[in-house]
Structure formats: structure tokens, C-alpha cells
Amino acid sequence: MTENAGVKHGGAPGSRGRTTIADVVVEKIAGMAARDVIGVHALGSGFARSMGSMRQRMPGGGSGKSATRGVSVEVGEVQAAIDLEIVVDYGVSITDVAGAVREDVISAVERMAGLQVVEVNIAVSDVKLPDEEDEEEERQRVQ
């Protein structure tokens, strides 16, 4: 069955063909948007961040913060569902940070990928206390 849009040569160029978006693309968009929210210290659980830190020390193990750490997505043809695991800074309102993360992630994914975001689930796995050292600071001291 063919559809005739009334235009010669198969319709507008923008409507010829299909665009697919890989899960990792949506993961990176969501991860970057979440990291930009004030009050988000990091993404991923403490274990995931530790493993990433160890991977960085190994030759060929990685070049820095993984843009997808703490982010998982399910991407369909027109919709996406996103799960985030975040660490918040001590003293911030967790509900306010979670709301801002949802808004920014939904906006970024819908604008950049053109997918309808049906849900953004957020798990707060830790709170960064002011007197705790960052893993990066520890790594620099131990070298």
C-alpha cells in the first residue's frame, strides 16, 4: 500500500525514510541534562562510581566520567522511559532537585531526539556530605 501526498517524486525530502535513535544516545542526552542540574553531585551509585574510577586507572580503561553511568532507558519508536540514579549535595531539597532533573531531562530528550518521554524515575542513592572527599580528589592524592 502506498500513500500519495500529492507531491511528485515521493513527497517532501524530510519524510522519506526512517530515523532510529539508539538507546545510548538517549542515555547520554539524559545524563548530561541531569548533571547540569544544581544540587546533583553525581550520577550512579557509589559502587558504580568506584568501578568507573578503577576502570580509569587501567590502561585503555576509559577516558573520564561515563556519560551514561547511572542512566538506563527504554526507547521505542516514538516514546522513551528513563531511569536515573543520582547523588545529591547535602542541604538541597531532594524533591526540588528531582523535579528539576525531570524537567531538564524531559525537555532535552524531547527537543534533541524528538521522542515523547513517558516517565523519568529517579532513585537518590546517596548524599554528598561537605566533609567527604570526591573520588577524583582521592585518585589524585594516591597517584
Q: What values do phi and psi take at 11, rounded to 5?
A: 95, -175
Q: What is the pLDDT at residue 117? A: 98
Question: What pTM value is reported for the model?
Answer: 0.74
Q: What is the pLDDT at residue 54? A: 46
Name the least confident of 14-18, 55-59, 71-75: 55-59
Q: What is the pLDDT at residue 16? A: 84
Share of the chain above pLDDT 70, in %: 72
DSSP H helices, the chain, are 23-35, 46-57, 94-113, 135-142
Q: How far apart are CA 75 and CA 10, in angstroms?
A: 29
Name the least confident of 10-24, 32-46, 98-112: 10-24
Cβ neighbours of residue 25 closer than 8 Å, sequence gap 6 or more: 113
Residues 101, 42 contacting (CB under 8 angstroms):
no
Name the least confident of 12-16, 31-35, 87-91, 119-123: 12-16
Q: What is the pLDDT at residue 13? A: 80
Residues 39, 102 contacting (CB under 8 angstroms):
no
* DSSP state at residue 38: T
Q: What is the pLDDT at residue 9? A: 62
- Mean predicted confidence (pLDDT) in 9-16: 76
| Residue 73 bridge partners (DSSP) | 82
